[in-house]
Amino acid sequence: MEYNVIKNADKIVNASSYVVKTPKNYKNKWATLFGNKNPIKLELGMGRGDFIIEMAKTNPNINFIGLEISDSQMVMAVENLQNSNLQNIKLIHADAALLAEFFGKEIDTIYLTFSEPWPKAIDEKKRFTHGSYLRLYDKIFKKTKHIILKTDNKGFFAYSLCSLSNYWYVFKKISLDLHHEEIPIKNVMTNYEKQYLKEGRPIYYCDAIFEG
Ligand SMILES: C[S@@+](CC[C@H](N)C(=O)[O-])C[C@H]1O[C@@H](n2cnc3c(N)ncnc32)[C@H](O)[C@@H]1O
């Protein structure tokens, strides 16, 4: 997906105290950076950060990290955090493929929110639920692995359920229409999710764990 080029994006991103400029330096030290031992939850491809910022605001006893590769999306996330004074959120401007360089076994939950579906077979390895990514997540999860996934893409959802299941994850919850469950599932919306909901598209959801 391509986004608008924003002038001086690097400068704006690097000026933010929420952005961790050298994430490799904090491998196995994120608790020290946050100043507490609270759980750390990570969103991959946070876009402009609506979800992770709201999660941080409403869960002060949990630490959140948003990771995003796009310059322009990072700028928007940084701008969304302006004038907030949150101690429990950090942002990383990087490719998710580098996760193991940034974290030891420190992460409690990974959120995969409206990740690129990469529908062509040739791009399968780029899907955040491909086996190679699941093996990568093993390197950064604490004892229990926990992935929460939301998407509007039925094909990507079906693929992800198979991939997670093949990798021995079990599903605490699956929804084929997150916003129309009889018993509502606790949920904070992402930017894409707000748009898709307006368009009346169903949102697929799963909460998967592996207890080692
Ligand atoms: C469809 S958008 C979803 C954004 C946000 N999660 C939401 O739901 O509003 C997917 C995001 O993933 C980011 N992304 C794609 N591949 C990535 C990668 N390898 N590492 C980090 N971010 C990535 C894109 O730049 C984009 O912002």
In angstroms, what is the span from residue 59 Cα to ligand 1's centroid?
23
Check residue 3 and give its pLDDT. Answer: 58
Band of residue 7 on the pLDDT scale cut at 50, 70, 90: confident
Q: Which of 69, 98, 96, 60 is nearest to 9 (CA)?
A: 69
User: Best of 1, 113, 193 to mutate for ligand 1, by most ligand atoms within 8 A of CB?
Assistant: 1
Tell me if 84 is assigned to some domain: yes
Q: What angle do CA 75, 57, 42 make, to 5 degrees?
A: 65
Q: What is the CA radius of gyration of the chain?
A: 17
Tell me if 206 is assigned to some domain: yes
Give the pTM: 0.97
Tell me if 170 is assigned to some domain: yes
Tell me if 3 is assigned to some domain: no
Total number of domains constituting the chain: 1
Q: Domain range spanning residue 86?
A: 9-211
Residues 6+ apart with CB under 8 A from 183: none
CA distances from 122 to 28, 118, 140, 178 (A): 34, 9, 27, 30
Any atom of ligand 1 within 6 Å of the Cβ of 69: yes
Band of residue 4 on the pLDDT scale cut at 50, 70, 90: low
Q: What is the CATH number of the domain that holds 23?
A: 3.40.50.150
In angstroms, what is the span from residue 85 Cα to ligand 1's centroid?
25
Band of residue 28 on the pLDDT scale cut at 50, 70, 90: very high
Q: Is 177 a residue whose pLDDT tops 60?
A: yes
High-pLDDT (> 90) share of the chain, %: 94
Tell me if 78 is assigned to some domain: yes
Tell me if 176 is assigned to some domain: yes
Tell me if 1 is assigned to some domain: no
Long-range contacts, 6-10 (Cβ 8 Å, 24+): 6/71, 6/72, 6/75, 9/71, 9/72, 9/74, 9/75, 10/71
User: Best of 3, 53, 73 to mutate for ligand 1, by most ligand atoms within 8 A of CB?
Assistant: 73
Residue 190 backbone dihedrals phi, psi, to 5 degrees: -90, 175
Q: Identity (one letter) of the amino acid at 62?
A: I
Check residue 42 and give its pLDDT. Answer: 98
DSSP 8-state symbol, 6 = -
**Could you identify the atom of ligand 1 that is nearest to the CA of residue 115?**
10
Q: How does pLDDT run across 43-60, given as a tens digit for each residue?
A: 999 999 999 999 999 999
Q: What gap in Å lies between CA 19 and CA 90, rounded to an integer?
A: 6
Check residue 6 and give its pLDDT. Answer: 75
Tell me if 2 is assigned to some domain: no
Band of residue 1 on the pLDDT scale cut at 50, 70, 90: low
Q: Looking at residues 179-195, what average pLDDT do you find?
A: 96
Q: What gap in Å lies between CA 46 and CA 67, rounded to an integer?
A: 6
Any atom of ligand 1 within 6 Å of the Cβ of 163: no
Any atom of ligand 1 within 6 Å of the Cβ of 153: no
